[in-house]
A and B are shown apart, each in its own frame.
Chain A
Amino acid sequence: MDSAAVLDRTFAALADPTRRAIVARLAYGEAGVLELAEPFAMSQPAVSKHLKVLESAGLIQRRRDAQRRLCRLAPERLKLVSDWAGGYREFWEESFSRLDDYLDDLQSQDDRHDPTRPDMSPKER
Protein backbone atom coordinates (compact mmCIF):
# COMPACT_ATOMS: atom_id res chain seq x y z
CA MET A 1 0.00 0.00 0.00
CA ASP A 2 1.32 3.49 -0.75
CA SER A 3 1.22 6.08 1.96
CA ALA A 4 -1.96 7.73 0.62
CA ALA A 5 -3.83 4.43 0.81
CA VAL A 6 -2.45 3.82 4.29
CA LEU A 7 -3.63 7.26 5.40
CA ASP A 8 -7.09 6.64 3.93
CA ARG A 9 -7.48 3.42 5.81
CA THR A 10 -6.10 4.90 9.01
CA PHE A 11 -8.39 7.92 8.89
CA ALA A 12 -11.38 5.71 8.12
CA ALA A 13 -10.58 3.57 11.14
CA LEU A 14 -10.28 6.68 13.32
CA ALA A 15 -13.50 8.22 12.00
CA ASP A 16 -15.49 6.38 14.66
CA PRO A 17 -15.71 7.82 18.21
CA THR A 18 -15.64 4.40 19.91
CA ARG A 19 -12.49 3.45 18.03
CA ARG A 20 -10.87 6.77 18.89
CA ALA A 21 -11.71 6.17 22.55
CA ILE A 22 -10.15 2.72 22.34
CA VAL A 23 -6.99 4.17 20.80
CA ALA A 24 -6.90 6.83 23.53
CA ARG A 25 -7.22 4.15 26.21
CA LEU A 26 -4.46 2.07 24.65
CA ALA A 27 -2.14 5.08 24.72
CA TYR A 28 -1.90 4.32 28.46
CA GLY A 29 -0.81 0.75 27.84
CA GLU A 30 -1.87 -2.72 26.84
CA ALA A 31 -5.40 -3.81 27.76
CA GLY A 32 -7.69 -6.81 27.45
CA VAL A 33 -10.93 -6.86 25.45
CA LEU A 34 -13.09 -6.88 28.60
CA GLU A 35 -11.29 -3.88 30.01
CA LEU A 36 -11.71 -2.03 26.73
CA ALA A 37 -15.42 -2.90 26.56
CA GLU A 38 -16.06 -1.68 30.09
CA PRO A 39 -16.58 2.08 29.48
CA PHE A 40 -18.94 1.48 26.56
CA ALA A 41 -22.56 0.36 26.68
CA MET A 42 -21.62 -2.30 24.18
CA SER A 43 -21.36 -6.05 23.99
CA GLN A 44 -17.97 -7.69 23.84
CA PRO A 45 -18.56 -8.91 20.25
CA ALA A 46 -19.36 -5.31 19.20
CA VAL A 47 -16.12 -4.11 20.74
CA SER A 48 -14.25 -6.97 19.09
CA LYS A 49 -15.58 -5.77 15.74
CA HIS A 50 -14.08 -2.32 16.36
CA LEU A 51 -10.81 -3.91 17.38
CA LYS A 52 -10.76 -5.85 14.14
CA VAL A 53 -11.10 -2.61 12.14
CA LEU A 54 -8.28 -0.99 14.15
CA GLU A 55 -6.12 -4.06 13.69
CA SER A 56 -6.61 -4.27 9.93
CA ALA A 57 -5.80 -0.55 9.70
CA GLY A 58 -2.52 -1.34 11.45
CA LEU A 59 -3.34 0.85 14.44
CA ILE A 60 -3.30 -1.89 17.06
CA GLN A 61 -1.70 -5.26 17.54
CA ARG A 62 -3.29 -8.20 19.36
CA ARG A 63 -1.70 -11.06 21.16
CA ARG A 64 -2.82 -13.87 23.40
CA ASP A 65 -1.47 -14.11 26.94
CA ALA A 66 -2.75 -17.29 28.64
CA GLN A 67 -6.55 -16.82 28.70
CA ARG A 68 -6.53 -13.11 27.84
CA ARG A 69 -6.52 -11.44 24.45
CA LEU A 70 -4.46 -8.32 24.81
CA CYS A 71 -4.38 -5.25 22.58
CA ARG A 72 -1.74 -2.61 22.26
CA LEU A 73 -1.09 0.39 20.04
CA ALA A 74 1.07 0.04 16.96
CA PRO A 75 2.68 3.44 17.21
CA GLU A 76 4.29 3.56 13.71
CA ARG A 77 0.91 4.03 12.07
CA LEU A 78 -0.09 6.83 14.42
CA LYS A 79 3.26 8.45 13.78
CA LEU A 80 2.48 8.44 10.06
CA VAL A 81 -0.78 10.29 10.72
CA SER A 82 0.82 12.76 13.07
CA ASP A 83 3.69 13.42 10.64
CA TRP A 84 1.24 13.91 7.83
CA ALA A 85 -0.93 16.38 9.73
CA GLY A 86 2.12 17.74 11.54
CA GLY A 87 3.83 18.80 8.31
CA TYR A 88 0.74 20.68 7.27
CA ARG A 89 0.24 22.20 10.70
CA GLU A 90 3.90 23.18 10.89
CA PHE A 91 3.61 24.96 7.57
CA TRP A 92 0.67 27.06 8.71
CA GLU A 93 1.76 27.54 12.34
CA GLU A 94 5.02 29.00 11.18
CA SER A 95 3.46 31.03 8.37
CA PHE A 96 1.00 32.60 10.78
CA SER A 97 3.63 33.27 13.38
CA ARG A 98 5.66 35.08 10.71
CA LEU A 99 2.50 36.88 9.62
CA ASP A 100 1.89 38.09 13.19
CA ASP A 101 5.38 39.57 13.35
CA TYR A 102 5.13 41.04 9.89
CA LEU A 103 1.72 42.63 10.50
CA ASP A 104 3.07 44.03 13.74
CA ASP A 105 5.93 45.68 11.84
CA LEU A 106 3.67 46.95 9.09
CA GLN A 107 1.21 48.45 11.51
CA SER A 108 3.77 50.13 13.72
CA GLN A 109 5.34 51.62 10.59
CA ASP A 110 1.90 52.70 9.56
CA ASP A 111 1.40 54.49 12.89
CA ARG A 112 4.51 56.50 12.14
CA HIS A 113 3.21 57.23 8.60
CA ASP A 114 6.19 55.57 7.04
CA PRO A 115 6.52 57.00 3.52
CA THR A 116 7.80 53.68 2.13
CA ARG A 117 4.35 52.13 2.44
CA PRO A 118 2.29 54.32 0.14
CA ASP A 119 -0.48 51.78 -0.43
CA MET A 120 -1.39 51.59 3.22
CA SER A 121 -2.48 55.12 3.83
CA PRO A 122 -5.00 55.60 6.65
CA LYS A 123 -7.60 56.44 4.03
CA GLU A 124 -7.45 52.92 2.64
CA ARG A 125 -7.62 51.23 6.00
Chain B
Amino acid sequence: MSTATLELDIPAGSPVITVRRFVQAPPQLVFEVLTQCRHLRRWWGPRRLELAVCEIDLRVGGGYRMVHRDADGSEFAFRGEYRELDPPHRLVQTFVYEGAPDDQALETTTLEPVPGGTVMVGTSLFSSVEARDAQVASGMEGGMRESYERLDELVAGLAATAG
Protein backbone atom coordinates (compact mmCIF):
# COMPACT_ATOMS: atom_id res chain seq x y z
CA MET B 1 0.00 0.00 0.00
CA SER B 2 1.67 3.17 -1.18
CA THR B 3 -0.03 5.30 1.45
CA ALA B 4 1.55 3.41 4.37
CA THR B 5 4.28 5.97 4.89
CA LEU B 6 4.46 8.03 8.00
CA GLU B 7 3.90 11.70 7.34
CA LEU B 8 5.27 13.84 10.10
CA ASP B 9 4.63 17.57 10.04
CA ILE B 10 6.55 19.71 12.54
CA PRO B 11 5.85 23.29 11.44
CA ALA B 12 8.47 25.86 12.42
CA GLY B 13 6.29 28.62 13.78
CA SER B 14 3.33 26.88 15.46
CA PRO B 15 3.27 24.55 18.49
CA VAL B 16 1.84 21.61 16.60
CA ILE B 17 2.95 18.18 15.46
CA THR B 18 0.89 16.15 13.04
CA VAL B 19 1.39 12.44 12.43
CA ARG B 20 -0.49 10.86 9.53
CA ARG B 21 -0.48 7.19 8.57
CA PHE B 22 -2.56 4.60 6.70
CA VAL B 23 -3.33 1.39 8.57
CA GLN B 24 -4.81 -1.70 7.05
CA ALA B 25 -7.79 -2.18 9.37
CA PRO B 26 -11.27 -0.69 9.73
CA PRO B 27 -11.68 2.38 11.98
CA GLN B 28 -13.52 0.36 14.66
CA LEU B 29 -10.52 -1.91 15.17
CA VAL B 30 -8.05 1.01 15.02
CA PHE B 31 -10.05 2.82 17.68
CA GLU B 32 -9.82 -0.29 19.88
CA VAL B 33 -6.06 -0.69 19.48
CA LEU B 34 -5.65 2.99 20.41
CA THR B 35 -7.72 2.80 23.58
CA GLN B 36 -7.21 -0.66 25.12
CA CYS B 37 -4.17 -1.65 27.15
CA ARG B 38 -4.05 -5.23 25.96
CA HIS B 39 -3.64 -3.86 22.41
CA LEU B 40 -1.36 -0.93 23.25
CA ARG B 41 1.12 -3.22 24.99
CA ARG B 42 1.61 -4.96 21.66
CA TRP B 43 2.51 -1.96 19.54
CA TRP B 44 2.81 1.46 21.20
CA GLY B 45 6.44 2.59 21.24
CA PRO B 46 9.65 1.05 19.93
CA ARG B 47 10.19 -2.67 20.52
CA ARG B 48 13.01 -2.13 23.00
CA LEU B 49 10.61 -0.31 25.34
CA GLU B 50 8.23 -2.39 27.39
CA LEU B 51 4.86 -0.84 28.20
CA ALA B 52 5.27 -1.68 31.87
CA VAL B 53 2.24 0.22 33.17
CA CYS B 54 -0.99 0.85 31.31
CA GLU B 55 -4.09 2.16 33.05
CA ILE B 56 -7.07 3.38 31.08
CA ASP B 57 -10.40 4.69 32.29
CA LEU B 58 -12.10 5.14 28.92
CA ARG B 59 -14.78 7.77 29.46
CA VAL B 60 -14.89 11.53 29.01
CA GLY B 61 -13.19 12.96 32.11
CA GLY B 62 -11.50 9.62 32.73
CA GLY B 63 -7.74 9.34 32.69
CA TYR B 64 -4.93 7.15 31.47
CA ARG B 65 -1.36 6.54 32.54
CA MET B 66 1.39 4.67 30.71
CA VAL B 67 4.97 3.89 31.60
CA HIS B 68 7.57 2.75 29.10
CA ARG B 69 10.58 0.95 30.54
CA ASP B 70 13.83 0.20 28.75
CA ALA B 71 16.30 -2.63 29.38
CA ASP B 72 18.27 -0.50 31.88
CA GLY B 73 15.15 0.09 33.94
CA SER B 74 14.80 3.75 32.89
CA GLU B 75 11.16 4.76 32.83
CA PHE B 76 9.25 7.25 30.69
CA ALA B 77 5.80 7.99 32.06
CA PHE B 78 2.87 9.69 30.34
CA ARG B 79 -0.61 10.51 31.51
CA GLY B 80 -3.67 12.45 30.48
CA GLU B 81 -7.41 12.75 30.46
CA TYR B 82 -9.99 11.86 27.83
CA ARG B 83 -11.82 14.94 26.61
CA GLU B 84 -13.85 13.58 23.69
CA LEU B 85 -14.69 10.03 22.71
CA ASP B 86 -16.52 9.47 19.46
CA PRO B 87 -15.72 5.90 18.40
CA PRO B 88 -14.66 5.06 15.77
CA HIS B 89 -14.14 8.57 14.40
CA ARG B 90 -12.46 10.84 16.89
CA LEU B 91 -10.58 10.86 20.15
CA VAL B 92 -9.37 13.91 22.08
CA GLN B 93 -7.13 13.57 25.10
CA THR B 94 -4.63 15.60 27.09
CA PHE B 95 -1.05 14.37 27.20
CA VAL B 96 1.59 15.07 29.80
CA TYR B 97 5.10 13.66 29.92
CA GLU B 98 5.73 13.27 33.64
CA GLY B 99 9.30 14.51 33.15
CA ALA B 100 7.82 17.93 32.26
CA PRO B 101 4.47 17.96 34.10
CA ASP B 102 3.78 21.67 33.53
CA ASP B 103 3.53 21.28 29.77
CA GLN B 104 0.25 19.76 28.80
CA ALA B 105 -0.56 18.97 25.19
CA LEU B 106 -3.93 18.37 23.61
CA GLU B 107 -4.02 15.39 21.25
CA THR B 108 -6.72 14.94 18.66
CA THR B 109 -6.86 11.68 16.73
CA THR B 110 -9.19 11.26 13.78
CA LEU B 111 -9.84 8.03 11.94
CA GLU B 112 -10.96 8.34 8.35
CA PRO B 113 -12.24 5.23 6.57
CA VAL B 114 -10.57 4.74 3.17
CA PRO B 115 -10.60 1.77 0.78
CA GLY B 116 -8.73 -1.07 2.47
CA GLY B 117 -8.36 0.56 5.84
CA THR B 118 -8.11 3.76 7.82
CA VAL B 119 -6.12 6.95 7.66
CA MET B 120 -5.17 7.94 11.16
CA VAL B 121 -4.27 11.58 11.80
CA GLY B 122 -2.91 12.56 15.19
CA THR B 123 -2.45 16.24 16.00
CA SER B 124 -0.71 17.37 19.16
CA LEU B 125 -1.21 20.96 20.19
CA PHE B 126 1.31 22.21 22.75
CA SER B 127 1.16 25.36 24.88
CA SER B 128 4.12 26.87 22.98
CA VAL B 129 6.77 25.98 20.41
CA GLU B 130 9.28 25.78 23.30
CA ALA B 131 7.05 23.36 25.18
CA ARG B 132 6.65 21.25 22.05
CA ASP B 133 10.36 21.01 21.45
CA ALA B 134 11.23 20.38 25.09
CA GLN B 135 8.54 17.80 25.63
CA VAL B 136 9.13 15.91 22.46
CA ALA B 137 12.89 15.93 22.99
CA SER B 138 12.58 14.65 26.56
CA GLY B 139 9.79 12.19 25.83
CA MET B 140 11.79 10.69 23.00
CA GLU B 141 15.01 10.76 24.98
CA GLY B 142 15.26 6.97 24.98
CA GLY B 143 15.13 6.82 21.21
CA MET B 144 17.69 9.54 20.83
CA ARG B 145 20.04 7.94 23.31
CA GLU B 146 19.91 4.76 21.31
CA SER B 147 20.72 6.71 18.15
CA TYR B 148 23.74 8.25 19.86
CA GLU B 149 24.89 4.83 21.05
CA ARG B 150 24.64 3.51 17.52
CA LEU B 151 26.59 6.51 16.29
CA ASP B 152 29.23 5.90 18.97
CA GLU B 153 29.57 2.28 17.84
CA LEU B 154 29.78 3.32 14.22
CA VAL B 155 32.47 5.89 14.95
CA ALA B 156 34.37 3.40 17.12
CA GLY B 157 34.17 0.82 14.32
CA LEU B 158 35.43 3.34 11.75
CA ALA B 159 38.28 4.39 14.05
CA ALA B 160 39.27 0.73 14.53
CA THR B 161 39.42 0.11 10.76
CA ALA B 162 41.37 3.32 10.22
CA GLY B 163 43.85 2.41 12.95
User: CB-CB contacts of B116-145 with A at 8 A, as 1s and 0s?
Assistant: 000000000000011001101100110110
Check if B71 is an interface residue, CB within 8 A of chain A: no
B 94-125 contacts with A by CB, 8 A: none
Check if A106 is an interface residue, CB within 8 A of chain B: yes
Determine whether the beta carbon of B29 is less than 8 Å from that of A103.
yes
Chain A residues with CB below 8 A from B130, complex form:
4-5, 8
Q: A4-B130, A96-B6 are in contact. Are A91 and B25 (CB under 8 A)?
A: no
Interface centre among B13, B19, B25, B134, by most chain A C-beta atoms within 10 angstroms, is B25
Determine whether the beta carbon of B47 is less than 8 Å from that of A94.
yes
Q: What 6 A-B pairs are tightest by C-beta distance, nearest first?
A: A87-B140, A15-B12, A98-B43, A87-B144, A87-B143, A11-B12
Check if A84 is an interface residue, CB within 8 A of chain B: yes
B107 to chain A, nearest CB (A): 13
Chain B residues with CB below 8 A from A106, complex form:
25, 29, 33
Chain A residues with CB below 8 A from B83, complex form:
none
Determine whether the beta carbon of A87 is less than 8 Å from that of B13.
no
Check if A99 is an interface residue, CB within 8 A of chain B: yes
Determine whether the beta carbon of A85 is less than 8 Å from that of B8.
yes
Check if A111 is an interface residue, CB within 8 A of chain B: no
Residues of A within 8 A of B (CB): 3-5, 7-8, 11-12, 14-15, 83-96, 98-104, 106-107, 119-120, 124-125
Determine whether the beta carbon of A103 is less than 8 Å from that of B23.
yes
User: CB-CB contacts of B2-31 with A at 8 A, as 1s and 0s?
Assistant: 001010101011000101010111101110
Determine whether the beta carbon of B25 is less than 8 Å from that of A8.
no
Check if B57 is an interface residue, CB within 8 A of chain A: no
Chain A residue with Cβ nearest B129: A8
Given contacts A15-B12, A87-B147, A102-B33, 14 further A-B contacts (CB under 8 A): A3-B137, A4-B130, A4-B137, A8-B129, A8-B130, A15-B13, A83-B144, A84-B144, A85-B8, A87-B141, A88-B8, A88-B140, A102-B39, A103-B23
